[in-house]
């Protein structure tokens, strides 16, 4: 697209990559060490990483933390609700915030918002991680095949990716998540919804990874070291797994990190529209969806919204930092 | 075409795999109170027993030449772009869709204009004053914008601007443009701004990156060497080069938005295509879902076509090929 007019073809692209990826297969460790030292200087990205680690810890130890707080996410606290006013709003100011309930309680049934936000992180992160993993697996496989073999294989896979990108994804995902009943494929309840959401989100997002991997594989295929291996008589599997794949790890890692926040938003959107994990299980999107009815009380929507915002921001910051560290020219 | 075939097969196969039968589908159509016989009769009339290919062929034929439905009590004809009848309301889908297209169109047109202007302007300024306070501030805001879901900012802005301050109309109020343009813009201003904010964040980031790259190109140096004023260099040479990838994404985004800004419409309760789709999905109303998906796919293809044509206008390198 932005091919320079006078420079010899390929030179502008190949040069920075030679520094970056050419060193890959020979001194793999030193590449990651260079990247790590660059990343360590990037305070913003590190902050993102710290937040991510804290969030993961929070999700893993959610039952423990909530036990310490002392209010299970689905415990009703009717005594904290103003039943006389007619609005069923929590008693006290700012949505019933107190030492006992630091983020306040929900209107109507008075469930503790903080423990619901903490439990919501489990669903959110679980689905986002595994959906990303699925996208990466499909995207890398098909992208590498398309880029490596070229020809009609490339044509076919690229067309499939175009069709996927042209789909009204959200409508489609909602519809799919909506038509599946509560008891299907040998699974039930929450676990069914979680698996279903992982498959839907992961399955619709693979072309983003696929396109990037295809582009990288396409340019890698023409590189000297691949040519050298080929002229030495290396077979296709060797070329694919030993020569190409290690050089694709960096971009895959970066875009996987950047896909996670997209998937978190996707899951929240589905939950918001009521086709995610079913109530009463706490999800951030579901909490926001409940908040629609009470939009006159902004503090009720604030916490799940902030939770989504902080999580997504942390992943974006870390992903950007990772990209800059692995590929300095994007800075 | 392909999209509609895939949509059709998925929405026929998934419920089947999950245990739905022609009878349960027909029950949805006639209501639970109906006798077993009526259910079977309806299922047969609507072709639920036919193999999937036949069902798809009948549906596609209806879209092109129209169809006739035999309800037993009388034959109803459904003229040319026949997308079938809703399972629930028994109203034909196409006229209902036509009613909703203007809403989504108004929303998408206003918001996309706003975000394109704001996003590209911010991106260009950031790239030119790289590293300045403006650049850093804009990029921090843009990163925040990318990380915020519309159903959070939308709700928050509704709570603040509509409920607390009373500056704008509450969610759910929509007046057609032809009725009263002033009220029309009032009812849409909040959705426009919220939607445009999220998108312009992304566009600012993309424009900035694109501008930084193009401004290092040789043709920029040539333009400067010719003694052109800096303004001309930036706008006519730099921006033109940076705009091509932006335009691709713009086409995709507008196309997707026209197919139903599901989240925005749901958050602000706007009666557009997206809300129609969600309503159809919640009620498990297949003809509605299919109709919206088809219209959405058409919009996306159209948007991409327009973008391809615009390429030639903006980027001289494309024209020469």
Residue-wise pLDDT tens digits, A65-94 = 777 776 666 666 666 666 565 565 665 665
Q: What are phi and psi of B253, to 5 degrees?
A: -65, -45
Question: Is the entire prediction scored with pTM above 0.80?
Answer: no
Helix (H, G, I), strand (E, B) or coil at B181: helix
State the complex-level ipTM.
0.70
In tens, the pLDDT along A284-324 reads: 888 888 777 776 666 777 888 888 888 888 888 888 888 87
Residue with tokens 């026949």: B82
Q: Do A171 and B259 touch (CB under 8 A)?
A: yes
Residues of A whose CB is below 8 A from B159: 295-298, 301
Q: Is B133 helix (H, G, I), strand (E, B) or coil?
A: helix
pLDDT per residue as tens digits for the range B87-135: 666 667 777 777 777 778 888 888 888 888 888 888 888 887 777 777 7
Higher pLDDT, A161 or B15: A161
Residue at token pair 């869709």: B97
Q: What are phi and psi of A118, to 5 degrees?
A: -65, -45
SS3 for B53? helix
What is the CATH topology of the domain spanning B94-318? MetI-like fold (1.10.3720)
Of B147, B164, B277, the CB nearest to A309: B147
pLDDT at position A16, please?
Answer: 45
Q: Which residue in chain B is spatially nearest to A177 when comparing CA positions?
A: B281
pLDDT band at A151 (very low <50, low <70, confident <90, very high): confident
Domains and CATH numbers, chain A: 34-70+109-330 (1.10.3720.10)
CATH code 1.10.3720.10 region(s) in chain B: 94-318
Partners of A261 on chain B (C-beta within 8 Å) are 147
- Average pLDDT estimate for A145-164: 82
CA distances from B3 to B6, B9, B28, B30, B291 (A): 5, 10, 26, 29, 12
* Number of cross-chain residue pairs from A and B with Cβ atoms under 8 Å apart: 147
* Inter-chain touch A2–B217, beta carbons under 8 Å: yes
Residues of A within 8 A of B18 (CB-CB) are 179-181, 184-185
Scanning every residue of chain A, which has its alpha carbon at the shortest distance from the alpha carbon of B7?
Answer: A172
Contacts of B19 in chain A (CB under 8 A): 181, 184
Residue B83: left (phi > 0), alpha (psi -120 to 50), or beta?
alpha
Minimal-distance CA residue of chain A relative to B257: A168
- Say if residues B218 and A7 touch (Cβ distance below 8 Å): yes
What tens digit of pLDDT does each residue of A235-281 get?
A: 777 777 777 777 788 888 888 888 888 888 888 888 888 777 776 77
Instruction: Give the E-state strand segments of chain A in sequence order.
Output: 183-184, 187-188
Record: contact A301-B160, CB cut-off 8 A: no
pLDDT for residue A134: 92
CA-to-CA separations, B97 to A174, B66, B288, in angstroms, rounded: 19, 16, 9
CA angle centred on A290, ends A300 and A112, rounded to 5°: 50
Q: How far from chain centre, in Å, is Cα A253? A: 12
Closest CA to A183 of B19, B21, B32: B19
Instruction: Specify the pLDDT at position B82.
Output: 62
Go through B37-47 and write b for each residue having 16 or more CB atoms within 10 A of its CB, e for each that does not: ebbbebbeebe
Contacts of A297 in chain B (CB under 8 A): 159
């Amino acid at each position: 697209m932005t091919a320079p007019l006078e420079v010899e073809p390929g030179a502008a692209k190949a040069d920075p990559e030679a520094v970056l990826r050419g060193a890959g297969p020979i001194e793999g460790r030193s590449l990651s060490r260079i990247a790590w030292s660059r990343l360590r200087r990037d305070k913003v990205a590190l902050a993102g990483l710290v937040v991510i680690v804290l969030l993961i810890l929070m999700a893993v130890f959610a039952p423990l933390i909530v036990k310490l707080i002392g209010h299970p996410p689905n415990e009703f606290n009717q005594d904290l609700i103003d039943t006389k006013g007619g609005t069923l709003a929590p008693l006290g100011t700012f949505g019933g915030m107190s030492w006992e309930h630091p983020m306040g309680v929900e209107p109507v049934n008075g469930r503790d918002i903080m423990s619901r936000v903490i439990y919501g992180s489990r669903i959110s992160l679980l689905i986002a991680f595994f959906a990303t993993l699925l996208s990466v697996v499909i995207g890398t496989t098909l992208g590498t095949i398309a880029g490596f073999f070229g020809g009609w294989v490339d044509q076919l896979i690229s067309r499939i990716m175009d069709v996927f990108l042209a789909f009204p994804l959200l409508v489609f995902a909602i519809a799919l998540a909506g038509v599946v009943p509560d008891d299907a494929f040998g699974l039930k309840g929450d676990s069914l919804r979680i698996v279903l959401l992982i498959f839907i989100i992961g399955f619709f997002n693979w072309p983003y990874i696929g396109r990037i991997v295809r582009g990288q594989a396409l340019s890698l295929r023409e590189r000297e070291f691949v040519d050298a291996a080929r002229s030495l008589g290396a077979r296709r599997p060797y070329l694919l797994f030993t020569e190409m794949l290690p050089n694709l790890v960096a971009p895959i890692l970066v875009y996987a990190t950047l896909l996670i926040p997209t998937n978190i938003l996707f899951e929240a959107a589905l939950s918001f529209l009521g086709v995610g994990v079913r109530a009463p299980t706490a999800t951030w999107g579901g909490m926001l969806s409940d908040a629609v009815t009470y939009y006159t009380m902004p503090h009720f929507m604030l916490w799940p919204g902030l939770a989504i915002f902080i999580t997504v921001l942390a992943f974006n910051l870390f992903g950007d930092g990772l990209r800059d560290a692995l590929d300095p020219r994007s800075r | 075409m392909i999209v509609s075939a895939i949509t059709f097969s998925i929405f026929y196969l998934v419920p089947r795999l999950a245990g739905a039968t022609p009878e349960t589908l027909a029950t949805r159509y006639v209501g639970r109170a109906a006798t077993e016989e009526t259910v079977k009769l309806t299922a047969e009339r609507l072709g639920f027993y036919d193999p999937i290919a036949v069902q798809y062929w009948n549906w596609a034929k209806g879209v092109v030449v129209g169809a006739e439905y035999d309800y037993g009590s009388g034959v109803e004809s459904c003229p040319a772009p026949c997308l079938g009848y809703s399972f629930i309301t028994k109203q034909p889908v196409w006229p209902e869709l036509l009613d909703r297209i203007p809403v989504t169109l108004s929303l998408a047109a206003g918001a996309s204009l706003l975000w394109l202007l704001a996003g590209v302007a911010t991106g260009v300024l950031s790239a030119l004053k790289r590293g300045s306070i403006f650049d850093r501030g804009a990029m921090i805001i843009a990163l925040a914008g990318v990380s915020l879901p519309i159903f959070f900012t939308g709700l928050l802005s509704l709570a603040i601007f509509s409920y607390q301050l009373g500056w704008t109309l509450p969610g759910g109020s929509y007046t057609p443009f032809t009725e009263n343009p002033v009220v029309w813009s009032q009812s849409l201003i909040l959705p426009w701004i919220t939607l445009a904010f999220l998108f312009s964040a992304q566009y600012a980031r993309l424009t900035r990156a694109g501008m930084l790259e193009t401004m290092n190109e040789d043709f920029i140096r040539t333009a400067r060497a010719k003694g052109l004023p800096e303004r001309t260099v930036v706008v006519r040479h730099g921006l033109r080069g940076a705009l091509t990838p932006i335009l691709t994404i713009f086409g995709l985004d507008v196309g997707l938005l026209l197919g139903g800004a599901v989240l925005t419409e749901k958050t602000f309760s706007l009666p557009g295509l997206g809300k129609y789709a969600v309503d159809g999905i919640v009620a498990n109303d297949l003809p509605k879902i299919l109709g919206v998906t088809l219209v959405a796919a058409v919009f996306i293809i159209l948007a991409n076509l327009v973008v391809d044509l615009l390429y030639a206008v903006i980027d001289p390198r494309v024209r020469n090929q």
